[in-house]
């Protein structure tokens, strides 16, 4: 096998977990107007068609800024901008409609390509557009009448879902209708983030040339929390107004239930596939998800740990620990921190002579359970224990036996505990002992 063929085979194998993870998910993908004017568009449409074939539910949102500007210039209409929004009067609205209409048709054409030697051969994909975006006027602000410039009022979720269920790709334009029958020129980024939030999409992906978030040293940032993104926006760290709109949309979506919002520079051929099917990706992701760190506890975490375990001590799930004891034993604790709050903890007490360790004080905040944080903590403690040369972990529990069994622990007798621990065993509490080999 040639090296190239081998690379292809291993690439395909490595991408299979992502193929499975993405199947049946809903992605809202925004294509900036600049991208629709560039030569990369047909290849990108092939990649989108491939996602559809792999069972991903796709909602596309297209931008139209450069195309609208071009038409306005040709019609001799000069645009006024307020807060980066175009004021759309009746004459300008005609140019907006013409530009958006032409782009919709262009995209329909590209999705219909099925030539025998093209990647879309045999891929019959229906691109559906309609009055899915309901708009309202921006109105008069700071004395400026925005006229036909509007904002998203709501997204027609059910009709869109029906199309997605039928395997169709839905196309939304930056143009919305109001219940009074008027048309409004909308910001495509706002349409995209509103659609992603309303549809509870798994991802919002914003694509375009130079959609790239760098730090102050010019290095691309790979992951941001909505808070970090918010700080960048507030500090005016982004030079291009387009990027500001795009990051605002990503931040808004990530703060309102969309697990991941990606910003992708389409200067890179295949950026979309790399972002979705390789571990490292190539864009910037705004997400709340990974804004959690699993780490060894420090003295300043004592207050947070106490807050987390107090209710569990009060109901008898955990044995009481004083602040003083926690301060003395803080290096035994591991925690999960989320946005500065301790949301989970566990402790490891080693008995080096017996080569065993006690897992204790396992707690996950009630608002964050069933997210495998308990299992993650355990994995981390197990690693620590192995590093310390321990061969077994044991735990004493009164109420959580089944959970520990699911994590690979087996019931054992009190006599199996290290001697030093046996003498401290509280017969009144009558905890069950469980052991897990490492």
**Contact string 97-116 vs ligand COA (x = CB under 6 A):** --------------------
Tokens coding 24: 């049946």
By the rule CB under 6 A, 326 interacts with ligand COA: no
Cβ distance to ligand COA smaller for residue 46 or 432: 432
By the rule CB under 6 A, 370 interacts with ligand COA: yes
**Contact string 372-411 vs ligand COA (x = CB under 6 A):** xxxx-------------------x-x-xx-xx--------
Stretch of 23-31, 40-48, 293-301, 370-378 lying at the interface with ligand COA (CB under 6 A): 370-378
| Unique residue bearing structure tokens 């709340």 | 288
By the rule CB under 6 A, 306 interacts with ligand COA: no
Q: How far is the CB of 223 from ligand COA (least distance, A)?
A: 22
Contact 306, 345 (CB under 8 A): no
Count the alpha carbons within 13 Å of 162 in the hemisphere toward its beta carbon. Answer: 6
How many residues touch ligand COA under the rule CB under 6 A: the total is 19
DSSP conformation class of 32: -
Total residue length of the chain: 438
By the rule CB under 6 A, 63 interacts with ligand COA: no
By the rule CB under 6 A, 429 interacts with ligand COA: no
- The per-residue b/e assignment along 140-179, b for 16 or more CB within 10 angstroms, e otherwise, is eeeeeebbbbbbbbebeeeebeebbeeebbbbbbbbbbee
By the rule CB under 6 A, 75 interacts with ligand COA: no
Rounded CA separation 76/52 (Å): 41
3-state secondary structure of 331: helix
By the rule CB under 6 A, 371 interacts with ligand COA: yes
Q: How far is the CB of 24 from ligand COA (least distance, A)?
A: 20
Cβ distance to ligand COA smaller for residue 249 or 395: 395
By the rule CB under 6 A, 317 interacts with ligand COA: yes
Q: How far is the CB of 70 from ligand COA (least distance, A)?
A: 53
Cβ distance to ligand COA smaller for residue 220 or 406: 406
By the rule CB under 6 A, 364 interacts with ligand COA: yes
Tokens coding 108: 């329909």
List the beta strands (DSSP E) in 284-428. Answer: 284-287, 292-296, 333-338, 341-351, 356-364, 392-397, 410-412
CA 172 to chain centre: 21
Q: Any bridge partners for residue 337, and if so which?
A: 293, 342
By the rule CB under 6 A, 4 interacts with ligand COA: no
275 C-beta neighbours (distance < 10 Å), count: 21
Q: Any bridge partners for residue 356, and if so which?
A: 351, 392
Q: How far is the CB of 174 from ligand COA (least distance, A)?
A: 41
| Unique residue bearing structure tokens 């044991």 | 394
Rounded CA separation 203/254 (Å): 9
Cβ distance to ligand COA smaller for residue 315 or 353: 315
Q: How far is the CB of 380 from ligand COA (least distance, A)?
A: 12
Stretch of 200-208, 233-241, 261-269, 365-373 lying at the interface with ligand COA (CB under 6 A): 365-373
By the rule CB under 6 A, 315 interacts with ligand COA: no
Cβ distance to ligand COA smaller for residue 232 or 318: 318
DSSP conformation class of 350: E
**Strand bridging mode 260-265 / 203-208:** parallel
Contact 85, 75 (CB under 8 A): no
Q: How far is the CB of 251 from ligand COA (least distance, A)?
A: 27
By the rule CB under 6 A, 362 interacts with ligand COA: yes
Contact 77, 47 (CB under 8 A): no
Name the residue with the smallest CB distance to ligand COA: 374
Point out which residues bind ligand COA (CB under 6 A): 312, 317-318, 362-364, 369-375, 395, 397, 399-400, 402-403
């Amino acid at each position: 096998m040639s090296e190239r063929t081998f690379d292809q085979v291993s690439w395909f194998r490595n991408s299979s977990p992502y193929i499975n993870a993405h199947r049946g998910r809903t992605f809202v993908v925004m294509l900036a107007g600049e991208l629709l004017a560039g030569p990369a568009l047909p290849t990108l449409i092939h990649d989108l068609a491939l996602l559809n074939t792999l069972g991903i539910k796709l909602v596309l949102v297209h931008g139209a800024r450069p195309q609208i500007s071009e038409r306005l210039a040709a019609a001799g209409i000069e645009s006024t901008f307020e807060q980066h929004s175009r004021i759309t009067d009746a004459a300008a609205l005609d140019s907006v409609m013409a530009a958006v209409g032409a782009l919709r048709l262009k995209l329909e054409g590209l999705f219909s390509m099925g030539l025998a030697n093209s990647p879309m051969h045999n891929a019959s994909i229906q691109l559906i557009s309609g009055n899915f975006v309901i708009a309202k006027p921006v109105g008069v602000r700071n004395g400026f009448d925005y006229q036909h410039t509007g904002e998203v009022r709501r997204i027609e979720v059910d009709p869109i879902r029906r199309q997605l269920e039928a395997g169709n790709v839905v196309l939304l334009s930056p143009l919305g209708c109001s219940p009074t029958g008027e048309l409004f020129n909308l910001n495509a980024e706002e349409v995209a983030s509103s659609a992603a939030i309303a549809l509870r999409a798994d991802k919002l992906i914003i694509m375009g040339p130079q959609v790239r978030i760098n730090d102050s040293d010019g290095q691309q940032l790979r992951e941001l929390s909505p808070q970090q993104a918010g700080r960048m926006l507030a500090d005016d760290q982004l030079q291009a107004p387009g990027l500001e709109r795009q990051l605002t949309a990503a931040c808004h979506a990530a703060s309102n239930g969309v697990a991941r919002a990606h910003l992708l520079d389409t200067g890179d051929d295949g950026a979309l596939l790399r972002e979705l099917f390789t571990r490292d990706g190539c864009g910037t992701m705004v997400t709340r998800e990974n804004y959690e760190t699993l780490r060894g506890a420090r003295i300043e975490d004592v207050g947070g740990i106490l807050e987390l375990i107090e209710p569990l001590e009060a109901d008898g799930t955990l044995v009481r620990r004083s602040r003083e004891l926690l301060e003395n034993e803080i290096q035994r604790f591991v925690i999960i921190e989320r946005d500065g709050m301790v949301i989970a903890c566990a402790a490891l007490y080693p008995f080096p002579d017996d080569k065993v360790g006690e897992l204790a004080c396992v707690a996950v905040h009630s608002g964050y359970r069933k997210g495998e944080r308990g299992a993650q903590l355990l994995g981390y403690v197990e690693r620590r224990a192995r590093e310390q040369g321990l061969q077994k972990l044991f735990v004493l529990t009164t109420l959580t036996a089944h959970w520990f069994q699911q994590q690979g622990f087996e019931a054992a007798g009190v006599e199996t505990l290290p001697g030093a621990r046996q003498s401290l065993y509280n017969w009144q509490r009558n905890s069950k002992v469980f052991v897990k080999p490492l």
